[in-house]
């Protein structure tokens, strides 16, 4: 089954690559009408992106339905992320319109969302860096176990035993 999925994925990636190459050649050959080709490749990109998003959401739902115990952890992580975004939006981001260049004015709402995205990135980046440094310290004093890798090892052993 995994070999069929792997082969299917390779075929799909190959088809997408060939279509991208065809668009690239068309743009390079006919630079005067490149805009129409670029519109075509953008539409193709949107279709591929939509397919990838739907596939990832489908796999996520399938995984959650087959392992409902992971739903609690997913809900907790989602709520924590939304709290960080809310802190960034309502606590840190400004409502001042931005004037970057004389002919480009960004309204207050857009500026607020840009600030929110930047502050969310800063907060999550800081948390990630801190966890990279704290993880060995916490596991060294016995507070942080590597539970995820232990679970993966157990699943791998179960799959190996099932195949044998």
Residue spans per domain, the chain: 1-66, 69-164
Residue 96 structure tokens: 């001042």
Per-residue confidence of the chain (164 residues) as pLDDT tens digits? 567 767 787 888 888 888 888 877 877 777 777 677 777 778 888 888 898 899 888 888 888 888 878 888 888 999 999 999 999 999 988 877 776 666 777 788 888 898 999 999 999 999 999 999 888 877 777 665 555 566 666 776 776 666 65
Residue 75 structure tokens: 């809900």
Distance CA 7, CA 71 (A): 31
Short-list 62, 80, 67, CA closest to 124:
80
């Amino acid at each position: 089954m995994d070999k069929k999925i792997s082969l299917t994925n390779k075929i799909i990636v190959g088809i997408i690559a060939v279509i991208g190459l065809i668009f690239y050649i068309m743009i390079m050959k006919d630079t005067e009408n490149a805009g129409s080709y670029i519109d075509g490749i953008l539409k193709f990109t949107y279709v591929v992106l939509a397919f990838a998003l739907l596939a990832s959401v489908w796999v996520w739902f399938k995984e959650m339905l087959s392992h409902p115990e992971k739903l609690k952890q997913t809900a907790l992580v989602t709520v924590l992320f939304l709290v960080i975004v809310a802190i960034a939006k309502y606590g840190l981001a400004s409502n001042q319109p931005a004037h970057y260049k004389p002919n480009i004015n960004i309204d207050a709402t857009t500026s607020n969302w840009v600030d929110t995205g930047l502050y969310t990135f800063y907060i999550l980046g800081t948390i990630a860096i801190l966890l990279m440094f704290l993880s060995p310290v916490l596991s060294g004093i016995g507070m942080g176990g590597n539970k995820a890798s232990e679970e993966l090892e157990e699943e791998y052993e179960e799959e190996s035993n099932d195949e044998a």
